[in-house]
Chains A and B, each alone.
Chain A
């Protein structure tokens, strides 16, 4: 597995220094042209917002699925998993219909005779909403995998020792679910960074993701060396962010595996 990852990766890194000629040409261009930094920052910013939103929505869902009985669990998980059975492209197009002109929202705005209604699509809002919808199941399932294993007796013990329900949650339940939160955040954030279709179809001109620039250089301009350079920079930025995250907030994370699922 390690070889399967590192062999192509090293080929890519090598290409970024050697195609079409040996040297730092691609990295110099990346440094000289501010547009690539800007697009990288946009990609990271949107991905961070999506991740945070998925956590805020996903945690209560996972919590309810773990603590509100088998019936609720079934309903919630089925609802969350449903989108997985439809292709990404179809889901994205569905959003275009729902948020766009003639969709339920614009019709509602018409009924309300709203003069200058907000646009819901072809801007950052549309891109973020579409991405949240795609990524939410990943967050919910990752957190649920941990919360469903948390023994209810811990909280009962806390309550019997005099803690209020909120205190029992924050001091006893929440810390036990940290591995799920960490895993979910990492998963959602990393997958989001690589998004291509959803921001391209639901975002505006500023929601150009780094994957689109890589694609442009791979497919249209066929400057594979530069595309490799872009990918390497993105990889380094992502790794750095993950390390920082791990140092600051990581509790039991992939880099220091301890608590997940253990007693």
Chain B
């Protein structure tokens, strides 16, 4: 809303606008988006920052610059979601030209018409696996899985491996952690109730929330961020929790006594996208062509332990790291492959509202 001030059709006097801008700037509340020149020799990417962003830089962006001479400008810790894309498209000012979205953000952004179609004359299929990597509006290089992790110092080797086990508070007592997130939780409820993978969609919400009631008082922590999810099981505030696979693998590598179960995991892809009309979109396509190749995919997966979507990457990953990843054959086959894109376009708001109602009651 604030950035609308820069729109030419704004019916507001210049003096007034200056006054507003001055006051806003003085209070430090206004973020001023950088305006990027077209046809430059660079591409601006948004990243989460942290080790994830640092690994992206080292395994994806720096090699790209080396190979092509195109500079990659990194915006750290920027909002990277549909809301940001919508803001850019609505105001015509872009903070970044490309970013990696999660599956649901990708679905939402795409269904709202916020993304630039991918130019597959630039993103070549030669060294890639189009079936697993290409979408009309996004390119995928890595995956993530929702897993169940448990403390081995509590359960030994016989810990909860499925959502049915997670629900079984008699056999596996103790405080539990769960992502405070509607679209994953309702699926877990159905899996816990014995719904087979192929019948999960369209979701039976009555059944899901009836099952949800059974676990309500045993979920102690409804975590809201990746680092929090790691903290609560590292500190033993919970004895089991849902964890994103890369976060889980990192904890295990760190030496925290946990076991990761993919037995009723949910695997989804991350998507590199370009907000519609981004000024450096041509360079962004070139970036995608590069990072979707086998080596960058393998290098990134080696660092972050989120399995690659380029099947040609797998051979380039050290053999002893492969079993840690969500995409290794033995893990992959056990999991529910995320689908339901159309379902979520229709129902995301409704399911969220229902989840919220259930949660606070």
Interfacial residues, chain A to chain B (CB-CB below 8 A): 1, 3-4, 7-8, 11-12, 15, 33-35, 38-39, 42, 93, 96-97, 100-102, 119, 121-122, 200-201, 204-206, 208, 213, 216, 218-224
Contact = CB atoms under 8 A, between A and B. Distances in A.
A101 B237 contact: yes
Given A100-B235, A223-B349, A33 B357 contact: yes
13 contacts: A3-B20, A3-B23, A11-B1, A35-B356, A42-B360, A101-B237, A122-B220, A122-B237, A205-B219, A213-B356, A220-B108, A220-B352, A222-B108
A109 to B, nearest CB: 14
Contact of A102 (B12, B222, B236): B236
Contact of A205 (B82, B222, B348): B222
B1 A221 contact: no
B108 A205 contact: no
Nearest to B79: A219
How would you classify the secondary structure of chain A's contact residues: helix, strand, loop or mixed?
helix
A208 B356 contact: yes
A219 B361 contact: no
Most buried by B among A42, A206, A221: A221
B1 A8 contact: yes
A205 B359 contact: yes
B224 interface: yes
B235 A102 contact: yes
B2 A8 contact: yes
B24 interface: yes
A38 B361 contact: yes
Contact of A208 (B219, B236, B348, B359): B359
B219 A221 contact: no
Main secondary structure of the interface of B (DSSP, over half): helix
Interface in B337-357: 348-349, 352-353, 356-357
B312 interface: no
B20 A4 contact: yes
Nearest to B19: A3
Given A101-B235, A221-B349, A201 B1 contact: no
B111 to A, nearest CB: 10
Nearest to B236: A101
Contacts of A39: 356, 360
B235 A222 contact: no
Contacts of A222: 82-83, 86, 108, 112
B353 A33 contact: yes
Contact of B235 (A33, A97, A201, A204): A97
A122 B224 CA distance: 12
Interface string B296-336: 00000000000000000000000000000000000000000
A33 B353 CA distance: 9
A3 B24 CA distance: 10
B180 to A, nearest CB: 7
A206 B360 contact: yes
